[in-house]
Amino acid sequence: MYKKHFGLQENPFNVNPDPRYLFLTRHTQEALACLTYGIQSRKGFILLTGEVGTGKTTLLNKLLDWLRRERVATAFVFNSRLNVSQFFDFMMADFGIPCDTKQKSQVLLKLNQWLLDRYKAGETAVLVVDEAQNLSPQVLEEIRLLTNLETATEKLLQIVLAGQPELEEKLNQPQLRQLRQRITLRAKTHPLNLEETRGYIHERLRIAGSDGRTIFLPDALEAIHRYSRGIPRVINLLCEHALISAFVDGKENIGAETISEVAREFDLDRIEPVAPKVPDRSNGENLTLMEALKALATLVDQMRTPEEPPATPRERKL
């Protein structure tokens, strides 16, 4: 409804994981490079993790677009509530492998034969599993066994397992140790910093056909970053509702006060302070071992990425 008012061709802030809108930050580029490199060099098993709303599914859709253009066979499993037999049904159907049996050994035989045919033809096959943090241990175990499909030298099936950070924790459980050991590459999505948030919003407006006028004022962009903590899904929510609100009020552009109103509506105003929290040192003796370990982990994390200190507590790996 506001498109004409703001000179746009389409809604810029849809929450669909539409790869057309992919904004490439340094982290996104790294993650995409890791995924494509892993697949091209037949690394076998790649893990993609990131907080909710940081762009995992969007990135996977971009990857799938690219794979399809390259004529690579793909299967995309995004329903993580499947049991083992449903998982196999879904994967076989999405690969387009005709399969009239439900018997697992037969299904695996067919899959193996099909993968060998692909391999002989010089082709790759990729299984992409999204929301993997919700998969049952049984399905995860089957996925591990799929990595056994190999020739003497190479993996026949490339697997990308994507999920929220809980997936990493899940894979740390002793019974999933073997699966964790198979992971050869790790990619991550991250929240955006302030500069990236500005770029992200401008890029979405551009793709949505904006004629270049200023819609979000500089203080609005800062407020969006503060309330969203750089999470693209929340940025979209704030921007979409700010556009509606400004349109209803007949405003030409959007300032920080409109963003604050929307943030209040969605309870985003009860955010933690932006400065990273550090354990309270005022009473040194009370620093527990756990706190000390966390502080150490944060320090190590920061040393790994010295060029970009975390902007918000959420960006830190606590």
Ligand X SMILES: Nc1ncnc2c1ncn2[C@@H]1O[C@H](COP(=O)(O)OP(=O)(O)O)[C@@H](O)[C@H]1O
**Alpha helices of the chain — where are they, by DSSP H?**
26-40, 56-69, 84-95, 104-120, 137-146, 166-171, 177-182, 194-207, 218-228, 232-248, 256-265, 289-304
Measure the CA–CA gap between 314 and 10, rounded to whole angstroms.
31
**Is position 22 an interface residue for ligand X (rule: CB under 6 A)?**
yes
Nearer to ligand X, 92 or 126 (CB): 126
One-letter identity of residue 188? K
Contact partner at residue 15 from Mg ion, ligand X, none, CB < 5 to 8 Å by partner kind:
ligand X
| Out of 31, 48, 56, 158, the residue judged to bind ligand X by CB under 6 A | 56
Looking at beta carbons only, is 26 or 277 nearer to ligand X? Answer: 26
Decide which of ligand X, Mg ion, none touches 18; Cβ closer than 5 to 8 Å per partner kind: ligand X
If one asks whether residue 57 binds Mg ion (CB under 5 A), the answer comes out as yes
Question: Considering only residues 187-216, where is the footprint of ligand X by CB under 6 A?
Answer: 189
CB of 306 to ligand X, least distance (A): 23
To ligand X, the closest distance from the beta carbon of 232 in angstroms equals: 3
- Is the Cβ of residue 44 or residue 50 nearer to ligand X in the bound state? 50
Nearer to Mg ion, 43 or 56 (CB): 56
Asked if residue 53 binds ligand X (CB under 6 A), the reply is yes
Structure tokens that stand for 230 in this block: 């750089």
Counting residues that bind ligand X (by CB under 6 A) gives: 20
Let me know: does 209 contact 246? Beta carbons within 8 Å. Answer: no
- Contact with ligand X (CB under 6 A) among 2, 3, 18, 199: 18
Which of residues 16 and 305 has its CB atom nearest to Mg ion in the complex? 16
- Asked whether the beta carbons of 236 and 276 are under 8 A apart, the reply is no
- From edge to edge, which strands make up the β-sheet containing 125-129? 73-77, 125-129, 157-163, 45-49, 185-188
Distances (CA, A) of 100 to 109, 139, 173, 235: 12, 21, 35, 46
Q: Which of 50, 163, 191, 310 binds ligand X (CB under 6 A)?
A: 50
Per-residue binding letters, 232-271, with ligand X (x by CB under 6 A): xx--x-----------------------------------
Element (H, E) at 126: strand 125-129
SS (H, E, C) 168-193: HHHHCCHHHHHHHHHCCEEEECCCCC
Kindly list the residues in this chain that would bind Mg ion in the complex (CB under 5 A).
56-57
